[in-house]
Amino acid sequence: MPDQPDDIYQDFPFVSLETVDSTNNYALHLVHAGLAQHGTAVFTYEQTAGKGQRQKTWHAAAGENILMSLLLRPEGLSIADQPALNAAVALGTYDFFSRYAGDGTSIKWPNDLYWQDRKAVGILVENIISAGTEGGGAWKWAVAGIGININQTNFGDFNRRPVSLRQITGRSYDLITLARELRHCVLKQYDALQKNGTAAILALYNQRLYKLHEKVKLKKDNRVFETEIRGVGADGRLTVFHGIEETFAHGEVEWIID
């Protein structure tokens, strides 16, 4: 088992729930109720309506996985820096997961974590932006929802090639201990974003990118094409090359993984 880091964030609130519709919903309620604090973690053993990307749901067996949301106050960041904050969350989650799962871990654009070619983690970041004058606004909060397959071994007919930490390592884990460690890793990368700037975070994100400089299959509308992954830019768009260079925003293409 890896050495545990000193938890410099241990005094931040850690909310543990038996069940909730969605940890992101609970965290957003804290914001709207004026009770939010930066670094607050909301953990649950069971979600009844977990959120995934693109209006999908996140399915996880009760009591077997990390289901957690972190409240982040984007001090000193502009709305245009959202891709960098998303990258920091993904990097912190990568740091945590790779401590146990090893070198097979990578970040699949835009915000999943894969172990080899199997999905281990899903991340959904929701933002609260206040209305401003002349169409502008201020970025008030980011809520980073993170679902990690930990002890689950039976995924039924789930068709996205899932894998859990227990399947990788052969060990079972205490969820609260790991959830606190995950928070530490994410907040550490958030602090690195604040200290070192967006370019450094995005450079590290690209180093950890799934299939970087490799050929993959993507689908756009009814077109399936083979292309090389070149990286992700400051705007969060994926750059690929297949005779010509193209860039895609989140949701414009779908991965085809054999």
pLDDT in tens, 28-54: 999 999 999 999 999 999 999 876 544
pLDDT at residue number 28: 96
With beta carbons less than 8 A apart as the criterion, state whether 69 and 144 touch: yes
Give the three-state DSSP class for 48: coil
With beta carbons less than 8 A apart as the criterion, state whether 114 and 129 touch: no
Q: Give the C-alpha distances (Å, rounded to integers) separating 78 from 33, 68, 159, 227.
A: 24, 25, 37, 32
The strand order across the sheet containing 215-220 reads 245-248, 238-241, 223-232, 215-220, 254-256
Average pLDDT on 184-194 reads 97
Q: Check whether 220 has a pLDDT greater than 80.
A: yes
Global pTM? 0.93
pLDDT in tens, 104-129: 999 999 989 999 999 999 999 999 99
pLDDT band at 161 (very low <50, low <70, confident <90, very high): confident
Domains of the chain, with CATH numbers? 14-207 (3.30.930.10), 215-256 (2.30.30)
pLDDT band at 203 (very low <50, low <70, confident <90, very high): very high
